[in-house]
Amino acid sequence: MSYDQQYSHQQPWLSKPEPEVEILSPLDAEKSRRWRLVLGCSSVFLGLMSGFYAYTDISVVIRAMNTAATSGGYIPGDAMSHVITIIAVFCVLALAYIGVGTWNIIARHSTSRPPLVGAIILTAAASILIVLYMMTKSPGGVEFSALGLNALIISRCVIVMRMKKAPVYPSAAGWTN
């Protein structure tokens, strides 16, 4: 056994100190908190808007079914299944947006990456769904606004994830043995 190995527990200056934690600089930490809050609030807003859109679709379907029933007609099953699928997707999307948004708001004081990765995956999937939806109907301003907000969320998530963390050593933080 070498001298360093034998006495390293008694003389901590002989070995290189291990970093205790990795943290962001104070400026980057403030940016991270601010952008995570913006990302969370944007996701919750998109969730509320998706839920509202699902609600309006449900009310349109109910009115159409009532109108068809009073006139003695019916709504074809394939059209009804298409509408119900769209409504279900918007409901799931609304719940996912609200969940990921809340997760990012709660994690705004941390350097955790999973909330950001969740936001990127959700907004990328939502963007694809919005584009597919726009291909089936004439696009309006709401769809373009949602695509823009999703692109903003993705870009801000990438910015926050790319912030560099620096190791903090016990001696640098004022800790002594």
- Verdict on whether the full-model pTM lies above 0.85: no
Tell me how far CA of residue 82 lies from CA of 24, 61, 67, 137, 140, in angstroms.
48, 11, 19, 13, 20
Place of tokens 């926050």: 160
Residue 8 lies in a domain: no
Residue 72 lies in a domain: yes
28-82: pLDDT as tens digits: 778 888 888 999 999 999 899 889 988 998 998 889 888 988 888 888 888 888 8
Residue 4 lies in a domain: no
CA–CA distance, 68 with 61 (Å, rounded to integer): 10
| Range(s) of the domain holding residue 100 | 39-163
Residue 147 lies in a domain: yes
Q: Based on the structure, what is the number of domains in the chain?
A: 1
Tokens matching residue 163 = 């912030």
Backbone angles phi, psi at 173, to 5 degrees: -90, 0
Residue 176 lies in a domain: no
Residue 141 lies in a domain: yes
Residue 153 lies in a domain: yes
pLDDT band at 121 (very low <50, low <70, confident <90, very high): very high
Closest by alpha carbon to 160, among 103, 96, 113, 100? 113
Residue 59 lies in a domain: yes
